Amino acid sequence: MTTTPRAPKPKPAALTPEQQARAIDLRNKLARVRACKKQDSADIRAWIEADALRRAYKHQPEPFEAEFARLACEHPEACSCPADYPTWTPGGTT
């Protein structure tokens, strides 16, 4: 079986300076779009991961919540009441 040689592909016509500038502009725009898509994808992934963590820990108590609540019972001298600060008013108004 013999094959016939293919004709060489014709060379593209030379671009005018305006066409070259437009081609460069389009390549730059395409690169910016690709970069934005990549950044948007990373932002979306980070948001999904953060939201998943937030939902996973939503019903779990803070790790030191019980210890903090016990402080008032174990160290009443560290607690204060309004009688300890008779001249202070909330919000700083007198």
pLDDT tens digits, 6-41: 888 877 778 888 888 888 888 888 888 888 888 888
Which structural domain, as residue segments, surrounds residue 56? 20-81
pLDDT band for 49, please (50, 70, 90 cuts): confident
DSSP, res 60: S
For residue 25, being part of any structural domain is answered with yes
Q: What does the alpha-carbon distance between residue 79 and residue 72 come to, in Å, rounded to a whole number?
A: 6
Across the chain, mean pLDDT equals: 79
pLDDT band for 94, please (50, 70, 90 cuts): low
Q: What does the alpha-carbon distance between residue 88 and residue 93 come to, in Å, rounded to a whole number?
A: 9
Instruction: Between 70 and 16, name the one with better pLDDT.
Output: 16
For residue 2, being part of any structural domain is answered with no
Number of compact structural domains in the chain:
1
Within its chain, how far is the Cα of 55 from the centroid? 17
Average pLDDT for 62-77: 74
Q: Which of 7, 3, 24, 6 is nearest to 15 (CA)?
A: 24
For residue 76, being part of any structural domain is answered with yes
CA angle 23, 28, 34 (to 5 degrees): 125
